[in-house]
Amino acid sequence: MTTSVTILGIESSCDDTSAAVISDGYLLSNVIANQDVHKAYGGVVPELASRSHQANIIPVVDEAIKKAGIKKENINAVCFTRGPGLLGSLLVGASFAKGLSVSLGIPLIDVNHLQGHVLAHFIKEKNNPKCLPGFPHLCLLISGGHTQIIQVDSPLQMKVIGNTIDDAAGEAFDKSAKIMGLPYPGGPVIDRLAKEGNPSAFSFAKPRIPGLDFSFSGLKTSFLYFLRDNLVHNPNFIEENKNDLCASLQKTIIEILADKVLKAVRQTGINQVTLSGGVSANSEIRNKFTILAQDNKWEIFLPPLSFTTDNAAMIAITGYYKYKEGLFASHDLAPIARFNIE
Ligand code: KG4
Ligand code: ZN
């Protein structure tokens, strides 16, 4: 008889407090408390984030256990996001996980948040059967802090083969949105407004970076200068062209991403590609990559929307793979703000 493995995952790296339960790779619950407190500041305020995590963590974990229909005695291991992220926020999740591990007498597992985004594709759902990517595959990880192409050789063996040299794709969305006076986070807002706009209305300079690396800070600057120049002649330029600006900017970001993924597929000969991270929620990115895969005869895996932005289910599934390998953490392991995938 095989006994099941039930993992509790805790995610607190930025501004979402989340807890999830996964049993034998199947999702039983995934609870997320978003922090609205940052909206007024146009970005995440670290001190407010850690205070909100402290207020949220007990009810969020409690709800995840209840929704999963299990008792805390059924949990085999507790895992937490070790980094990368905001140190104060990470400390809340790490300390809580350590306390729970001691009180329940179960192993503690540390998880790299980026590896969690990559493995979000392996979360199984009873009511939503799907094909899982094989190995090796390429993952385009596009989030608020990272833009990377990762060669994934197995659940726990992966290497970064392309990286941003400055801003992340999510920052290109968020910073450009801020320039236009749109609320934070700007990515979903631009996605929505772009649907009504003409993507060919304006064109913005694309970077010329060799290899598989990305750059987005030049795009942000050229967007800023373009608006500044046009506002001189027409103070209502942004208001009158908002949808076209969003659509054109979004198109440029997608082209930058697509160029490098095409190159990575050609270079590695690996023809299964996954998208992950918050920016992979973008509807046009999902459309364009689906078409790109069809045209170039590779396979694309799009994560369900609930696993694109930060969530504890991706931390729990990574913890599940580490549990199977007996990769446990000691209780004196400290969170780290900067944490690479290898
Ligand atoms: O993965 P994530 O939740 O947090 C990080 O680990 O960074 O990603 C957050 C990022 C933000 O930059 C946000 O603007 C972006 O994901 N995002 C989107 C969309 N939804 C979230 N960007 C473009 N289109 C969207 N629909
Ligand atoms: Zn993330």
Q: What tens digit of pLDDT does each residue of 282-335 get?
A: 999 999 999 999 999 999 999 999 999 999 999 999 999 999 999 999 999 999
In angstroms, the CA 101 to CA 71 distance is 15
Q: Is the pLDDT of residue 2 over 70?
A: no
Q: Are strands 137-142 and 272-276 parallel, antiparallel or unpaired?
A: parallel
Q: Is the pLDDT of residue 75 over 60?
A: yes
Q: Is the pLDDT of residue 1 over 80?
A: no
| Percentage of the residues of the chain whose pLDDT score is greater than 70 | 99
| Averaged pLDDT for residues 233-258 | 98
- Residue 30 main-chain phi, psi, to 5 deg: -155, 100
Tell me the CA–centroid distance for residue 136 and ligand 1, in Å: 26
More confident residue, 12 or 205: 12
Of all protein residues, the one whose alpha carbon is nearest to atom 24 of ligand 1 is: 282
pLDDT band for position 194 (cuts 50, 70, 90):
very high
Tell me the CA–centroid distance for residue 143 and ligand 2, in Å: 6
How far the first Cα of the chain sits from its last, in Å, is 36
Average pLDDT, the chain: 96
Among 309, 310, 311, 315, which residue has the most ligand 1 atoms within 8 Å of its CB, making it the best to mutate?
309
Which two structure tokens, joined as six digits, stand for 74? Answer: 């059924």
The pLDDT score that the predictor gives to residue 244 is 98
pLDDT band for position 3 (cuts 50, 70, 90):
confident
Q: Is the pTM of this model over 0.85?
A: yes
**Residue closest to 33 by CA, chosen among 47, 13, 5, 53:** 53
